[in-house]
């Protein structure tokens, strides 16, 4: 059974925070083409912050908006300004603050969620999810009443623990709707890793509820675990996180839905060379302003993502750059290396390490930053290599994006994307220069120094390639990326929808 309508929600709809924004915004195009104007994304109404990516259209779903207003719901309807321009519903949840305690008590009674230990962003996220559930119920009722087909098979898809209360609301009030819950990384797994505990050596000995008590994650873990349990279909983005879900959430994954990429985001061949040249000039300008004495043939590499010092491998990246500078490698001395740390809010003194210069870019690269005034993709295309020596990485969009922009990358076998690339024939044989488009480093709880050495070796190896070898490597990266688009991966979501419909039919 194919869905007639798809309602999907995340805190990152029209709100660029991290990798989930990339997941949803790049997937929107294929969803819009397969289900035209039958896909509705629900996100938080954060006013000016949301309006960067949202274009309100007051005539769109106007009759429903008037009905929703009478029900006390405050929503804005428009288009998400991403490829496919799907419909987006922004939900104002501020009116629910006065009902918070009553909502928590109700959800505890029905679904066993332990909200009593809440702190931080738990309240805001839970009330957002609950308000989205109310908006979904209202829109679903309106669509059913105004459709010739009385049976409208509808999917409500909830991403991450922040939307769990929406799933609970739908399960209580709309028993004929099929629900999907996706965790992109378990909260407790990320917390174990981020707190310096050895996640992998003692993996089979960890108990999610116990660790949540120890690490102060009780409410978030409870909401995530119960959402996984009550969803008709439970998914995650990689096999490594599927194992994590089974161990820490005690719920086996129904479908692994790998993350794809939208190829339309990459410049066409006739524009590619010019865009790359423009990016390299911008990178060179900033490097020179930072005091680096580099030329056009310098090796530009970068790390990007969230400010998670160990999980994202930022510590390893910086240690590798220091190791590289101390190595006295002839190819590095000849070409110089500029390493860009593109991590929002992470700003340390600019480092000149001899043949290596580290430049910190502590901004969201959305086109209006004071350093480049360019987007991340507008700069990524100019890189020679990207490096993501991740310790905790359920998927890894950053290396995935890199090869899509013809940039060879380094990742680890603790990243879902790294494990996927390791299975691909296109990444098996090295180029004539001895490199693979995706270099996959083995990482454990205790081999950090070996990882540092391998990262440094990868940069040395790249710097020694000639022009032919470099272009061959870049072309191989692009070929590998063609096997990781939404065209290849969206079928997994349709399988998840099918499983959710089957579960609803069994329950009813």
Same domain membership, residue 135 and residue 44: yes
In which domain, by residue range, is 325 found?
Answer: 265-483
Question: What's the rounded Cα separation, in Å, for the pair 221 and 164?
Answer: 11
Structure tokens belonging to residue 482: 């063609």
**Would you state the pLDDT for residue 220?**
97
Rounded distance between C-alpha atoms, residue 183 and residue 225, angstroms: 10
Cβ proximity of 441 and 390 under 8 Å: no
CA 179/CA 215 separation, integer angstroms = 30
- Same-domain pairing of 52 and 82: yes
Instruction: Determine whether 369 is exposed, middle or buried from the number of CB atoms within 10 Å of its CB (0-12, 13-18, 19+).
Output: middle
Residue 151: per-residue pLDDT: 63
244 and 284 share one domain: no
Buried b (16+ CB within 10 A) or exposed e, 372-398: bebebbbbbbbbbbbbbbbbbbbbbbb
Q: Are residues 153 and 204 in the same domain?
A: yes
pTM > 0.95: yes or no: no
Quick one: 337 and 455 in the same domain? yes
Counted domains in the chain: 2
What tokens appear for 71 in the block?
Answer: 């029900």
Same-domain pairing of 240 and 297: no
Judgement on whether residues 370 and 426 belong to the same structural domain of the protein = yes
Q: What is the pLDDT of residue 7?
A: 98
pLDDT 10s digit of each residue in the chain, 508 long?
Answer: 789 999 999 999 999 888 899 999 999 999 999 999 999 999 999 998 889 999 999 999 999 999 999 999 999 999 999 999 999 999 999 999 999 999 999 999 999 999 998 899 999 999 999 999 999 999 999 998 776 665 679 999 999 999 999 999 999 999 999 999 999 999 999 999 999 999 999 999 999 999 999 999 999 999 999 999 999 999 999 999 999 999 999 999 999 999 999 999 999 999 999 999 999 999 999 999 987 788 888 999 999 998 999 999 999 999 999 999 888 778 777 888 999 999 998 888 787 778 899 999 999 898 989 999 999 999 999 999 999 999 999 999 999 999 999 999 999 999 999 999 999 988 876 666 789 999 999 999 999 999 999 999 999 999 999 999 999 999 999 999 999 999 999 999 999 999 999 999 887 6
**Per-residue model confidence (pLDDT) at position 377:** 96
Residues 418 and 277 in one domain: yes
Q: What is the CATH number of the domain that holds 256?
A: 3.40.50.2000
Q: Could you write out the DSSP letters of every residue in 14-28?
A: T---SHHHHHHHHHH
pLDDT given for residue 431 in this prediction: 67
- Listed in sequence order, the residues at least 6 apart from 180 whose beta carbon sits closer than 8 Å to its beta carbon are 155, 156, 157, 158, 231, 232, 233, 234, 235, 496, 497, 500
Residues 245 and 273 in one domain: no
Q: What would the two tokens of residue 390 be?
A: 């991740």
What pLDDT is recorded for position 149?
60
> What pLDDT was estimated at residue 150?
54
Residue 295 and residue 150 in one domain? no
Q: Examine the domain organization and report whether 142 and 175 are in the same domain.
A: yes
| Domain shared by 13 and 97, yes or no | yes
């Amino acid at each position: 059974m194919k869905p007639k309508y798809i309602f999907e929600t995340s805190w990152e709809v029209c709100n660029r925070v991290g990798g989930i924004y990339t997941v949803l915004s790049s997937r929107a195009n294929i969803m819009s083409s397969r289900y035209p104007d039958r896909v509705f994304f629900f996100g938080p109404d954060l006013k000016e912050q949301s309006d960067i990516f949202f274009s309100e259209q007051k005539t769109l779903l106007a009759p429903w908006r008037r009905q929703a207003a009478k029900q006390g719901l405050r929503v804005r309807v428009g288009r998400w300004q991403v490829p496919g321009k799907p419909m987006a519903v922004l939900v104002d949840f501020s009116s629910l603050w006065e009902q918070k305690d009553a909502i928590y008590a109700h959800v505890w009674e029905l679904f066993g969620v332990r909200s009593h230990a809440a702190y931080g962003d738990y309240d805001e996220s839970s009330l957002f999810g609950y308000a989205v559930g109310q908006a979904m119920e209202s829109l679903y009722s309106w669509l059913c009443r105004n459709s010739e087909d009385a049976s409208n098979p509808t999917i409500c898809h909830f991403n991450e623990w922040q939307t769990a209360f929406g799933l609970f609301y739908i399960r209580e009030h709309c028993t004929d709707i099929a629900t999907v819950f996706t965790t992109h990384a378990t909260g407790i797994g990320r917390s174990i890793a981020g707190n310096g505990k050895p996640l992998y050596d003692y993996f089979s000995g960890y108990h999610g509820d116990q660790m949540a008590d120890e690490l102060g994650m009780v409410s978030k873990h409870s909401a995530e675990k119960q959402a996984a349990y009550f969803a008709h279909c439970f998914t995650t983005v990689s096999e490594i996180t599927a194992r994590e879900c089974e161990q820490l959430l005690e719920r086996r994954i129904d479908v692994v839905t790998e993350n794809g990429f939208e190829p339309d985001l990459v410049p066409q061949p006739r524009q590619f060379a010019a865009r790359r040249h423009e990016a390299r000039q911008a990178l060179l300008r900033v490097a020179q302003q930072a005091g680096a004495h580099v030329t056009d043939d310098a090796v530009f590499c970068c790390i990007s993502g969230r400010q998670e010092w160990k999980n994202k491998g930022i510590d390893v990246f910086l240690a590798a750059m220091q190791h590289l500078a101390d190595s006295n490698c002839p190819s590095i001395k000849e070409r110089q290396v500029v390493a860009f740390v593109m991590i929002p809010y992470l700003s340390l003194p600019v480092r000149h390490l001899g043949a290596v210069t580290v430049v910190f870019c502590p901004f969201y690269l959305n086109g209006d930053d004071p350093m480049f005034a360019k987007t991340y993709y507008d700069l990524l295309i100019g890189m020679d290599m990207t490096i993501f020596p991740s310790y905790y990485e359920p998927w890894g969009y950053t290396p995935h994006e890199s090869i899509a922009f013809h940039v060879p990358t380094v990742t680890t076998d603790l990243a879902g994307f790294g494990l996927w690339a390791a299975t691909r024939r296109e990444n098996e044989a090295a180029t004539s220069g001895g490199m693979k488009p995706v270099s996959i480093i083995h990482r454990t709880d205790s081999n950090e120094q070996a990882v540092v050495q391998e990262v440094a070796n990868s940069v040395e190896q790249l710097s020694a390639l000639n022009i032919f070898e470099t272009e061959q490597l870049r072309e191989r990266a692009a070929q590998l990326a063609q096997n990781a688009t939404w065209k290849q991966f969206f079928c997994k979501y349709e399988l998840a929808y099918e499983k959710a419909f089957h579960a609803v039919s069994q329950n009813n």
